[in-house]
């Protein structure tokens, strides 16, 4: 099937389970430019990449597209990306926040970020443990050039998605707790990938990051 059909299938599956407006980030990290182009030609503009270089190359190829940085971000690369991403999904440490703040101030742009949380505590995954997030949110309050829009997580890979439903529930609960503690602006929940996005939406996702279901055929 064409990538465009795949994309519309994802959209339709989402529409069947919710009336909420869910943002689909088409994750193009393994996609050919010609496949990205098929979506682009049909007006799809929101893409995600986990590597800075690839994202910057694709941005140049597809003008007016909006890019999300979904992969872990090295501090030394921050200077290259300020002003170029709609949203950074992977803010997970103090020195990264400091660098984003510094470079955003230099360029006078507000950088939208999500705080990445490692709910499952798998060692291979980056992100804060949920117990650390409140302190990190307080730490970020002093940063004038960083706008924290919500939280992001990745669920462990599993053959049985029900096993990871708790990951999405926990992130949604954490969001509610933080909102109750005064962080009213963290309205976004980026959770759910090809394997598990419908479940993530059932648990409150507002953004899903879909790669293989769109780009494989």
Ligand X SMILES: *Cc1c(COP(=O)(O)O)cnc(C)c1O
Instruction: State yes or no: residue 175 binds ligand X (CB under 6 A).
Output: no
Alpha carbon dihedral 68, 74, 80, 83, in 10-degree steps, equals 40
Residue 36 or 70: the one with the smaller Cβ distance to ligand X is 70
CA atoms within 13 A on the CB side of 131: 2
160 vs 48: CA distance, rounded Å: 25
- State the minimum distance, in angstroms, from the CB of residue 7 to ligand X: 12
Residues 6 or more apart in contact with residue 123 via CB below 8 angstroms:
none
Instruction: State yes or no: residue 126 binds ligand X (CB under 6 A).
Output: no
Q: Give the residue, chosen from 4, 29, 54, 134, that forms a contact with ligand X under the rule CB under 6 A.
A: 29
Instruction: State yes or no: residue 50 binds ligand X (CB under 6 A).
Output: yes
Size of the site for ligand X (CB under 6 A): 14
200 vs 168: CA distance, rounded Å: 6
User: Could you tell me which stretch among 1-9, 16-24, 118-126, 193-201 binds ligand X (CB under 6 A)?
Assistant: 193-201
66 vs 159: CA distance, rounded Å: 32
Q: Give the residue, chosen from 3, 128, 193, 200, that forms a contact with ligand X under the rule CB under 6 A.
A: 193
Instruction: State yes or no: residue 71 binds ligand X (CB under 6 A).
Output: yes
Instruction: State yes or no: residue 28 binds ligand X (CB under 6 A).
Output: no
List the one residue out of 190, 11, 160 whose CA is nearest residue 88: 190
Q: Which residues bind ligand X (CB under 6 A)?
A: 27, 29, 50, 70-71, 154, 193-195, 209-213
């Amino acid at each position: 099937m064409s990538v465009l059909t795949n994309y519309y299938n994802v959209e339709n599956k989402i529409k069947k389970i919710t009336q909420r407006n869910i943002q689909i980030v088409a994750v193009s990290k393994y996609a050919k430019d010609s496949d990205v182009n098929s979506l682009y030609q049909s007006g799809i503009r929101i893409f995600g990449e986990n590597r800075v270089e690839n994202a910057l190359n694709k941005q140049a190829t597809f003008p007016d597209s909006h890019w999300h940085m979904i992969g872990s971000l090295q501090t030394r690369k921050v200077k290259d990306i300020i002003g170029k991403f709609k949203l950074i999904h992977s803010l997970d440490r103090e020195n990264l926040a400091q660098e984003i703040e510094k470079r955003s101030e230099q360029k006078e742009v507000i950088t939208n970020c999500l705080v990445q949380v490692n709910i499952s505590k798998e060692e291979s995954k980056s992100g804060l443990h949920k117990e650390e997030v409140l302190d990190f949110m307080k730490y970020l309050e002093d940063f004038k050039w960083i706008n924290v829009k919500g939280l992001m997580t990745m669920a462990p890979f599993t053959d049985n998605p029900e096993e990871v439903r708790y990951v999405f529930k926990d992130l949604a609960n954490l969001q509610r707790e933080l909102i109750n503690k005064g962080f009213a602006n963290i309205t976004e929940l980026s959770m759910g990938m090809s394997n598990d996005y419908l479940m993530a939406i059932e648990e409150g996702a507002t953004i899903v990051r879909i790669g293989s279901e769109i780009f494989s055929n």
